[in-house]
Structure 1
């Protein structure tokens, strides 16, 4: 090993250690935010609470996440990475409209049940969530509706798309399964029956 390589190795090692520590600190902050969002809700999650949960200072939180959208985006991305997400790309491979609707709603309702606690609090506190994050969620919901409604002719009645939009909403699943006590399968069948009735009128 040359003298030059020998002299720079300790510095490179220290830089790597520092980078790893920065990464671990960032991860602790993200995990603290996810925990608080999923237990207290976004509206009750302060930077001070995140700092205390992560074992860092408020200044450290701001160094890693200078604004709310950056923190919420990292938090949302981390939580979603732990979930088995709905796959609308697979729904569209199912041709017949009712079969696609059944497959899509089953996939969605499975996801809603698995992520119920976080989704309930996030939707309850959506007024406290930065606009870019809310818009991204709305775009995702629109993709769900597009994937399911796209199985029918484009010139169908607006009410059919509206009912499909109602069926894909988390609030609909929560009402049917938590408030009315249906199973996921029963809720899917109820919504499919409703959409079928609307489609039959077209």
Structure 2
């Protein structure tokens, strides 16, 4: 191997090492933000706190993330990648409105129970979330509501829309299950009974 080839190889090795170090540092920062969001909540999570948790300087955090919104986005994406997310495409395969509602709420309430510590902090610090993320969460809940409403004979009913919107809310699940001790299946049946009564359908 010539001297030039060895030099080129050494440079590539150093560049790869630096890239690995950058990726490792970035992940440490994201992990620190996730830990703080899940323990003290977004409103009390500061760049200084993230830096201390990650073992880096504030300047290092800002080198990787231009602002709080960029860090929150990375934190959210990382946490969601570790969860089993609800699958509304599967619900939509069911044409019976109450069967679809049961399937959808079962899926949602499983997600809420699994992610309760983080979700409680996120929804509890609603005003501290970046506007785009609040909008995304609202759109997601509206999408879940609409997917479940679609199978009902009168999906445009204002009362039914309100009931189903209430049923898909994280806070509804938390009130029924965390605060009042219902199991997930019992909570699903309670909300399905309410929706069936509102829609004038017979609940099996």
Deviations 1:11-65 (A, max 9, x none): 0000000000000000000000000000011111010000000000000001111
Q: Matched residue of 1:85: which SS?
A: coil
CA distance in structure 2 between the partners assigned to 1:119 and 1:40 by the alignment: 12
Shift of 1:153: 3.5
TM-score by length of 1: 0.96
User: Is residue 86–residue 107 contact of structure 2 (8 Å, CA) maintained in 1?
Assistant: yes
Corresponding residue of 2:39: 39
**How far apart, in 2, do the equivalents of 1:35 and 1:70 lie?**
16
Residue 41 to residue 3, structure 1, CA distance change in 2 (3 Å): same
Aligned equivalents of 1:91, 1:103: Cα separation in 2: 6
Cα separation, 1, equivalents of 2:55 and 2:20:
17
TM-score, normalisation: structure 2: 0.95
Who is 1:139 aligned against? 139
Contact 2:149–2:155 (Cα < 8 Å) also in 1: no
Alignment of 1:172-191 (within 5 A): 172-191=172-191
How far 1:2 moved relative to its partner? 5.0
- Counterpart of 1:59 in structure 2 is 59
State how 1:28-177 maps to structure 2 within 5 Å: 28-153=28-153, 156-177=156-177
Structure 1 stretches of 4+ with a deviation exceeding 4 A read none
Stretches of structure 2 that go unaligned for 5 or more consecutive residues are: none
Q: Which runs of 5+ in 1 are unaligned?
A: none
**Any idea what SS the aligned residue of 2:200 has?**
helix
